[in-house]
Amino acid sequence: MNASAVSSPSAAAVDPATAPPPIEHRLRDRVAVVTGAAAGIGRAYAWRLAAEGAHVAIADVQPADETREGVEQAGRDAFVQRCDITDPGDVQAFAAAVTDRFGRVDILVNNAGIYPHAPLEETTFDDWRRVLAINLDGSFLMAQALAPALRASGRGRIINIASSETWMVSPNATAYLASKMGVVGLTRALATELAADGVTVNAVAPGLTGSAGDSPRTTVEDMLPDLFDVLPQMQAIKRPGTAYDLVGVVAFLASDDARFLTGQTLVVDGGMIRR
């Protein structure tokens, strides 16, 4: 699957309600970093940013050949380096390699994350630390390492990924919800600290979202098999979300159209949460 497939499938083959939003080409020649972009929603973000004109650097612990191919098929440069976002040394090395390759960084999408759910009594401290390390520490380390380049851009953008679940009654999610609410707090703090240099910092809080293109299915279904049937009935828009429902929001936040928007968390969950 290539970038054009993500951005502009045949109109006859796609339900207008779930088709990807139109490409505005707002990011021409900017440089975007996307973490966790080897597959799933992160890959969709990378492909959409490339379709909007950005070169894309991918940080992941998994091979990202397909993501690279999609970025290059969109006519943009792709850079891939293995990076454990919980390791300060790995993150610093990645940041140095990206700035050496492109000479700049304009956009950071902190997408990498995990979604474990377990009862409190069954959550070990190692489990807790792993969730916080990937979902929160990684976003902090990437923002810190790339802050100089984002400041130098003059119009830097950081887009963190939270979760609408933080405002829901959700059992067996202590570590996950703590990590994602931490992302909201990090977003607000960074927005204040980086604003003087033209850097905006916002978060997207998706609801239940499939991880591949227009598919509403995800590995979450293996853990909570009834969720995709029950949860959408509680939303204003009564269908599961897809990656296509998120990529346009991320592209908007990365663009100059969002230049006066910072410190905010946009809930994208079909109208489940009203804030």
Is the confidence at residue 223, as pLDDT, over 80?
Answer: no
Give how many domains the chain has, as a whole number: 1
- 259 found inside a domain: yes
How far is residue 153's CA from residue 229's CA, in Å, rounded to a whole number? 44
Which tokens hold the place of 37? Answer: 């972009």
- 15 found inside a domain: no
Q: What is the CATH number of the domain that holds 197?
A: 3.40.50.720
Q: Give the other-Cβ count within 10 Å of 76's Cβ.
A: 25
Q: For residue 244, what are the β-bridge partners?
A: none
- 11 found inside a domain: no
- Higher local confidence (pLDDT), 26 or 222: 26
How far is residue 252's CA from residue 101's CA, in Å, rounded to a whole number? 25
- Higher local confidence (pLDDT), 142 or 1: 142
Beta strands 55-60 and 78-82 are: parallel
* Long-range contacts formed by 85-91: CB under 8 A, 24+ apart: 85/35, 85/36, 85/59, 85/112, 85/134, 85/137, 85/138, 85/139, 85/141, 85/142, 86/133, 86/134, 86/137, 86/138, 86/141, 88/141, 91/59, 91/138, 91/141, 91/142, 91/145
pLDDT of residue 22: 78
- Higher local confidence (pLDDT), 142 or 8: 142
pLDDT of residue 232: 82
pLDDT of residue 65: 97
Is the confidence at residue 6, as pLDDT, over 60?
Answer: no
Domain that holds residue 39: 21-268
Which tokens hold the place of 170? Answer: 């959700």
State the pTM of this model. Answer: 0.89
How far is residue 257's CA from residue 72's CA, in Å, rounded to a whole number? 25
DSSP state of 110: E
pLDDT of residue 2: 37
Percent of the chain exceeding pLDDT 70 equals: 88
pLDDT of residue 19: 74
DSSP state of 232: G
- Band (pLDDT 50/70/90 cuts) for residue 220 is low
- 108 found inside a domain: yes
- 7 found inside a domain: no
- 119 found inside a domain: yes
DSSP state of 211: S
- 59 found inside a domain: yes
Is the confidence at residue 219, as pLDDT, over 60?
Answer: no
Q: Which residues are catalytic?
A: 176
Contact by Cβ (8 Å): 117, 173: yes
